[in-house]
Amino acid sequence: MTITVRDEAGPQAELRHRHTARWVAGAALVVGAALVAVLATRPPATATEVDTPLVGQAAPPITGSTLGGATFRLAALRGRWVVVNFFASWCPPCQQEQPELVAFAYAHRSPGDAALVGIVFDDSASTARGFMRSTGASWPAVVDPGGQIALDYGVRGPPETFFVSPRGTVVAHFDGPMTNASLDYWLARAQGGGA
Amino acid sequence: MSDATRRRLRRLAPWVALGIVVGVALGIGASPGGPPLTVAQRVNGIDTLVRCPSCDGISVADSSASTAVAIRQAVTARVRAGQTDSQIDAFLVSRYGPSILLRPPVRGGTAWVWVLPPVALALAVTSLGTVLWRRRQGVAVTVSTDDRALVQQALARRGAPGGRATEVVRAP
C-alpha cells in the first residue's frame, strides 16, 4: 500500500511562509534596534541614599597616607562639612562620577567650605594616582591597604559617598555615582538639618 | 503497689528511658565540650556565618573579594583581642546592618525563623501522642440490656450440645 502525502496548498503556501518569515525577521530587527536605542540613550545610573547603621553615628576615624604621600586625618577637618568618597579607577560608575566630583571640588574650593576626600577602594596606588591626575582631581585621596577604612564605613562596592557633619557625625550615605547637582542638593539639605 | 500500677509502670518504663537518653544526648550535643577552639577555628566559624558584602549570597569564608578579605582580617584581629562571637557580630552589624549575618538574629521579625520549628515540632509530637493515646483508650460503647440479651442468647446456642456458632442479627 502506498500513502501519498500531498501538500494541500502547494507553491502558494510556500510563498506565504516566506512572507511570514520576512515579517517576523523585520519585526525582530525593529524591536532589537529599539532596545539598543533605549539602552544607549537612557540616563546614566545615579546615586541612591541608603539607610545604614552608621548614619547618625560618629564617623569612623580616617587616618592614612594620601596618594601624594601626605598624612591625612579626618579629625583635622572637624568644623567643616566633609564628603567622603570611596572610589576605584576600574569602576565605570566612578569614572562617570569623577568629572562631577571635580566640578564640586572646584565650586567648594574656598577655605572653610565643604571638603572632599577620596578613599581608594581595592585599587593600586599607582593606578589610582594616574586616574586622579588624568581627571584633574586635586583633593586628597587616602590609600586603604587591607580595606579597613572601607570596612569601618560598611562599604560594599564603589562608588559610595558619605556626608560628615562639622561635628564629625555621618549624616548621609549614598550608593552609586553622585552628580555635582546632587552633591550640592544633599549638602544644602544636610546643612539645613543642623547636624 | 497494685498489679494495675505495676503494669502501667512497666508500659511507661521504655518511654521514660527513651526520654532520658534523648535528653542526655541533646545535652551533650549542645554543650561546648572538647578542647577549646583555636583562633583559626573560631575565625572560620564566624566567617562562615558572615555574608560577603560585595558578593551575591556567599559567606566571607567562601569569598576572595577584597571586602571579604578585610572582614576576615578584622575578625582575626578581634578574636585575638579576646572578643566574643557576639561582640564581633555586633561590630559587623554596626557597620553593614543585620543583613551582614547569614544567621538571622533572634529578635524582631526574624525571631519566628527560630521559634517556629521547635513550636511546630512540639505541636506535632503532642498531636501524635494525643491520637495514639485516644486509640489505645478505645471508643467507649454503651451496652444496652437488649445487647446483653442477644449476647447471652448467642452464647447459650453455642454452649448447647451440637450447637454451632451462629451469627446474631439484631432486628432493627
Q: Tens digit of pLDDT for each residue in A18-45?
A: 888 888 888 888 888 887 776 665 545 6
Instruction: Give the cell for residue B136.
Output: 489505645
pTM of the model: 0.65
Residue from A119, A156, A170 whose CB has the most chain B CBs within 10 Å, to mutate: A156
List phi, psi (to 5°) of A55. -65, 125
Q: Residue A3 pLDDT > 90, yes or no?
A: no
Residue B97 and residue A146: Cβ atoms within 8 Å? no
Residue A133, burial from CB neighbour count under 10 angstroms (0-12, 13-18, 19+):
exposed
**More reliable by pLDDT, B28 or A8:** B28
Q: Are A119 and A141 in contact (CB under 8 A)?
A: yes
Q: Residue B59 pLDDT > 80, yes or no?
A: yes
Q: How many CB atoms neighbour CB A128 within 10 A?
A: 21
Q: What would the mean pLDDT of B124-134 be, rounded to a whole number? A: 92
* ipTM of the prediction: 0.71
Find residues 52-91 of chain B whose CB sits inside 8 Å of chain A: 53-54, 66-67, 69-71, 73-74
CA distances from B118 to B23, B25, B29, B32, B124 (A): 15, 17, 17, 21, 10
Residue A154 and residue B97: Cβ atoms within 8 Å? yes
**CB pairs A-B closer than 8 Å:** 47
User: Average per-residue pLDDT in chain B?
Assistant: 85
User: Tens digits of per-residue pLDDT, A93-128?
Assistant: 999 999 999 999 999 999 999 999 999 999 999 999
**Is A49 within 8 Å of chain B by CB?**
no
Task: Place domain B39-103 in its CATH homologous superfamily.
Answer: Cytochrome C biogenesis protein (1.10.8.640)
**Domain residue extents for chain B:** 39-103, 106-139, 141-172
